[in-house]
Amino acid sequence: MKVTVVGAGAVGASCAEYIAIKDFASEVVLLDIKEGYAEGKAMDLMQTASLNGFDTKITGSTSDYYKTANSDIAVITSGIPRKPGMTREELIGINAGIVKTVSKSLLEHSPNAILIVVSNPMDTMTYLVHKTTNLPKHKIIGMGGALDSARFKYRLAEAIGAPISDVDGMVIGGHSDKGMVPLISHAARNSVKVSEFLSNDRMQQVVEDTKVGGATLTKLLGTSAWYAPGAAVSGLVQSIACDQKKIFPCSTYLEGEYGLNNLCIGVPVVLGKNGIEKIVDIELSDAEKAKMKESAEGVSKTNGLLDL
Ligand SMILES: NC(=O)c1ccc[n+]([C@@H]2O[C@H](COP(=O)([O-])OP(=O)(O)OC[C@H]3O[C@@H](n4cnc5c(N)ncnc54)[C@H](O)[C@@H]3O)[C@@H](O)[C@H]2O)c1
Ligand SMILES: O=C(O)C[C@H](O)C(=O)O
């Protein structure tokens, strides 16, 4: 199993590290445009192999896509991150050009690869890949909901005073400060609805903290987060590589599902060896349906800024 990660920056390197530590891929290629940067990150990570006990071979490449040839899965993290005070949508100008070129180069050398899009604004970048490549839609996956759901679980556990492993929750919708839809109606502590443990006001606070999870970290760090994003990507990659068929909320092209059309947005999907093997239709409350519609309008508006 060969995995390429384009962009050896904060998220790309974190993602490569988690993939290696989980030790399911034979090879990870990191590629970046900065001269020597990916090679340096790869060498540094390889020097953790004996310490962390993995056999995955990590190599680096400066813009040489021949080294990525015949990848089974490719992750696109290349592009600029936001700074405090910015929205993800403001990154569209620079990142659209990068994502378009990178996806084309990847597919020239790995025509059978499954692509995972991470660069922001992620739902619009996923849509861009859908519109500008010939890849079937089940092979184009946007990562956002897996991360947002991890943040939702973190906030739920904090509010309830429960261990995170006891808490389950999912965030669908657009990966944006306003567009995320944390699914309160499905959130549970070991099968008991979270409403048994939290007041409406506390629940609303959890929802708001989840939605601005990325912005909160960006303010603290001066740039956006990387550990949880890298771990979230590695979970998607593992489910595909090992054909685990796990459910994650991912951005995917919708054709009528959830009443939505002609956009990529986060919905629950089954991830297996073919990429997105099924879009899972779950029951939403009326309030969640209305929020999903509003979120889709936001994503479509950003998509309208693309030069297609
Ligand atoms: N979808 C998500 O949940 C999520 C989470 C975190 C970050 N992100 C996004 O991921 C992107 C990367 O974030 P980061 O913190 O790793 O940034 P970073 O600046 O640390 O790394 C980005 C890397 O991309 C490289 N790059 C730029 N253009 C390239 C090109 N054409 N080809 C190859 N490499 C190129 C840069 O040299 C840099 O090393 C940002 O757009 C950020 O907003 C998304
Ligand atoms: O917040 C960001 O800009 C990066 C990423 O989308 C995140 O949620 O951490």
Strand intervals (E) in 159-224: 167-168, 171-173, 180-182, 188-189, 192-193
Q: Is 148 in the pocket of ligand 1 (CB under 6 A)?
A: no
As to burial, measured by CB atoms within 10 angstroms (0-12 exposed, 13-18 middle, 19+ buried), residue 36 is: exposed
Question: Which residues sit in the known binding site for NAD(+)?
Answer: 7-12, 32, 95, 118-120
Cα 286 from Cα 291, distance rounded (Å): 9
For the chain, 308 residues long, give each residue's pLDDT as a single digit of tens: 999 999 999 999 999 999 999 999 999 999 999 999 999 999 999 999 999 999 999 999 999 999 999 999 999 999 999 999 999 999 999 999 999 999 999 999 999 999 999 999 999 999 999 999 999 999 999 999 999 999 999 999 999 999 999 999 999 999 999 999 999 999 999 999 999 999 999 999 999 999 999 999 999 999 999 999 999 999 999 999 999 999 999 999 999 999 999 999 999 999 999 999 999 999 999 999 999 999 999 999 999 999 98
Q: Contact at 8 Å (CB) between 43 and 60?
A: yes
Q: Contact at 8 Å (CB) between 88 and 112?
A: no
Of all ligands present, the nearest one to the C-alpha of 266 is 1
Mutate to test the pocket of ligand 1, among 224, 227, 264 (most ligand atoms within 8 A of CB): 224
Strand intervals (E) in 177-274: 180-182, 188-189, 192-193, 246-255, 261-272
| Residue 203, amino acid | M
Nearest one of 200, 191, 175, 176 to 250, comparing CA atoms: 175
Q: What is the CA(76)–ligand 2 centre distance, in A?
A: 14
Mean pLDDT for all residues in the chain:
98
Q: Contact at 8 Å (CB) between 188 and 168?
A: yes
Tens digit of each residue's pLDDT (9 = 90 or more) over 30-64: 999 999 999 999 999 999 999 999 999 999 999 99
Catalytic positions, please?
175
**Bridge-based pairing state of the strands 27-32 and 2-6:** parallel
Answer yes or no: pTM beyond 0.80. Answer: yes
ipTM strictly over 0.95? yes
Cα 232 from Cα 152, distance rounded (Å): 13
**Bridge-based pairing state of the strands 192-193 and 27-32:** unpaired
What is the number of other CB atoms lying within 10 angstroms of the CB of residue 75? 33
Q: Contact at 8 Å (CB) between 248 and 145?
A: yes
Q: Is 179 in the pocket of ligand 2 (CB under 6 A)?
A: no
The confidence score (pLDDT) of residue 296 equals 98
Tens digit of each residue's pLDDT (9 = 90 or more) over 96-105: 999 999 999 9
Cα 129 from Cα 253, distance rounded (Å): 10
Percent of residues, the chain, with pLDDT higher than 90 = 100
C-alpha 186: how far from its chain's center? 21
Please list, in sequence order, all residues whose beta carbon lies within 8 angstroms of the beta carbon of residue 177, skipping any fewer than 6 positions away: 87, 88, 211, 212, 214, 215
Q: Is 213 in the pocket of ligand 1 (CB under 6 A)?
A: no
